[in-house]
Amino acid sequence: MQLHPLATVVDRIDPRGSYTTRDIADLLRVSDSTVHSLLGGHLLPGGRRRTAPGGGVRWAWTGRALLRAAQLRMDTRRRLPHQDLSPLTLWRLGCRCERCTAAHNDRDRDRRRQLADTVLTEDIRRQLLATVAAGAPASEAAAAVGVSAQRVYGVASRDQEFAAELAEAGWSLCAAGRADARCSTPAAYRDGCRGTGCRLARREANRRP
Ligand SMILES: [Zn+2]
Ligand SMILES: [Zn+2]
């Protein structure tokens, strides 16, 4: 069952306190307009409406009113206003419906990729490829240039050009050499050669029925 957005911050609500829309925005770490959407969606009952000295309308809630609101059961009739708020904001407010979860996962993945690309700069890629070409397995080369092997393989899985460069550099790892018949065989892979030629040979062998 889904919780009311305030349910996760009840320990920060003082029952004797007084809260404006701004205060609620701070509690939930969302914008003021998001709080107004919750208000419009009848998810913040018990507020008092006052006309501010300048003429605008100001809302205020007692801490008790907010604690009562926090206990509202969310269901199909009382749900977060999906027509007003972005899926990411809704996810932050606790919605775990399919659409909001998908939006969150997409953003998460984009951020991880961005981070991976930022860490694996062009400069570091060159150093890494040179290290592999000089005979270090990719995982060791990654450590030598200060990135994780997982990150290197992650970038290679999305960047075909980089993957090809990595494979090309990996030929140097074939113990007997690219031109030598002892390499580029599954048997050489079994003997421990991790060069590109032997890795390809093993992959081919595994593919055959
Ligand atoms: Zn949702
Ligand atoms: Zn080999």
| pLDDT digits 0-9 by tens, 173-207 | 887 877 888 888 888 888 888 888 888 888 888 88
Is the model's pLDDT at 18 over the cut of 80?
yes
Q: For residue 189, report the distance from its CA to the centre of ligand 2, in Å.
A: 6
Q: For residue 150, report the distance from its CA to the centre of ligand 2, in Å.
A: 23
| pLDDT digits 0-9 by tens, 145-174 | 999 999 999 999 988 999 999 999 998 888
Q: What is the 3-state secondary structure (H, E, C) of the chain?
A: CCCCHHHHHHHHCCCCCEEEHHHHHHHHCCCHHHHHHHHHCCCCCCCEEEECCCCCEEEEEEHHHHHHHHCCCCCCCCCCCCCCCCHHHHHHCCCCCHHHHHHHHHHHHHHHHHHHHHHCCHHHHHHHHHHHHCCCCHHHHHHHCCCCHHHHHHHHHHCHHHHHHHHHHHHHHCCCCCCCCCCCCHHHHHCCCCCHHHHHHHHHHHHCC
Q: For residue 46, report the distance from its CA to the centre of ligand 1, in Å.
A: 25
Q: For residue 180, report the distance from its CA to the centre of ligand 2, in Å.
A: 9
Give the ligand whose atoms come closest to the C-alpha of residue 196.
2
**Interval 82-100 mean pLDDT:** 94
Instruction: Decide yes or no: CATH 1.10.3470 for domain 5-82.
Output: no
Q: For residue 207, report the distance from its CA to the centre of ligand 2, in Å.
A: 18
| pLDDT digits 0-9 by tens, 21-76 | 999 999 999 999 999 999 999 999 999 998 888 888 899 999 999 999 999 999 88
Domain boundaries, the chain: 5-82, 113-207
Q: For residue 89, report the distance from its CA to the centre of ligand 1, in Å.
A: 9
Query: What is the average pLDDT value for the chain, to the nearest integer?
Result: 91
* pLDDT of the residue at 54: 81
